[in-house]
Amino acid sequence: MDQAALIRASLNKTWEEVRPQMELALLEQLSTGKAARQTDISDMSQAARWLDQAENDQQWRMALIEAAGKFSERAALFMIENGRLLCAALHGATSDTLPGLPIPIEEAPAFRTAIETGEPVVALRRAAEISEPIALVFNASGINKAFLIPMRTGGKTPAVLYAEGVDVRLPALELLMRIASGSVRPISDFWRNLSTAEKQMHLKAQRFARVSVAGMILSRPLDVRAGRKRRAIYSAFHGEIDRLRNQFADEFFLKSRNMVDYLHVELLSKLANDDATLLGAEYPGQMH
């Protein structure tokens, strides 16, 4: 059995174990009035599917940060390694320096509190609390608070989610991290073994895919709707999709032995609403 199949088998087993917990948590949120919006329920279910479908750590991280973007305007996933924070994924913000930059936890007291207590922390968004590198990236005007939600698994905190914005649904983000902690297998060495340049390439590839697919949706909304209805999105966009696939392959996929086809992930999640049949039988599929 190859590595992808092993990961899939592990995820399937873990997902069956965490599904009852997710359903119970959703019911608890609804009954206590904690769910900020009815749409949070469907968004959370979609997030769980994304996490369940991840075939490697990087896809899992991307699924988590994309899901976090449904409940906040800007977010970042920080892995905890050897007493340092390492930014593994961004949503709603861009940076050429933060990804892969090791930040000592001592320079981010608010993160340290979240890691040590295992509880969410509401911090003032300033360098003295979240570190100077993070404060420089997340500097939108009118936003003074940051929400730090730790992931707990096996009695440890392997990651912390940073979230901010005008409308941050903290209960939903807490639930998301509970689901993620249940669906994640012990985090492998994939990300930590990448060099800084490789990590930056992965994040640039993510941004390329996200921006490219968003541009398609914004520029041709009627064609998107028609393609979905006919279950033939690729037929409607084959010229543009083929161009983007060639560009993604040339700039990212062929230059990295461990690159993920982020363009396929974005096409599937954003254009096809996580329904592969909407792309159509002619769609060439994921790059290998």
Read off the pLDDT of each residue in 19-27 and give the average, rounded to a whole number.
53
Rank 44-48, 109-113, 167-171, 195-199 by mean pLDDT and report only the highest.
109-113
Q: Considering only CA atoms, which of 276, 259, 280, 270 is closest in space to residue 63? A: 270
Backbone dihedral angles phi then psi of residue 121, each to the nearest 5 degrees: -130, 135
Fold classification of 3-183 (topology level):
Beta-Lactamase (3.30.450)
What whole-number distance in Å separates Cα of residue 161 and Cα of residue 75?
7
Tell me the residue type at 230. R
Copy the structure tokens of residue 34.
Answer: 């904690």
Tell me the residue type at 21. Q
* Per-domain residue ranges of the chain: 3-183, 196-279
Largest CA distance in the chain: 55
Strand blocks (E) in 101-193: 103-104, 121-124, 145-153, 156-164
What's the pLDDT band for 20 if we cut at 50, 70, 90? low
Give pLDDT, residue 14: 47
Read off the pLDDT of each residue in 41-50 and give the average, rounded to a whole number.
74
Q: Give the SS3 label for residue 262.
A: helix
Q: Is the pLDDT of residue 276 over 90?
A: no
Query: What is the CB neighbour count within 10 angstroms for residue 206?
Result: 25
Q: Is the pLDDT of residue 50 over 80?
A: no
76, β-bridge pairs:
90, 162
Burial (CB count <10 Å: 0-12, 13-18, 19+), residue 254: exposed
What whole-number distance in Å separates Cα of residue 185 and Cα of residue 10?
7
Rank 82-91, 106-115, 201-210 by mean pLDDT and report only the highest.
106-115
Kindly report the length of the chain. Answer: 288
Strand blocks (E) in the chain: 74-81, 84-91, 103-104, 121-124, 145-153, 156-164
Strand blocks (E) in 106-230: 121-124, 145-153, 156-164
Q: Tokens 């790059």 map to which residue? A: 287
Tell me the residue type at 259. M
Give pLDDT, residue 1: 40
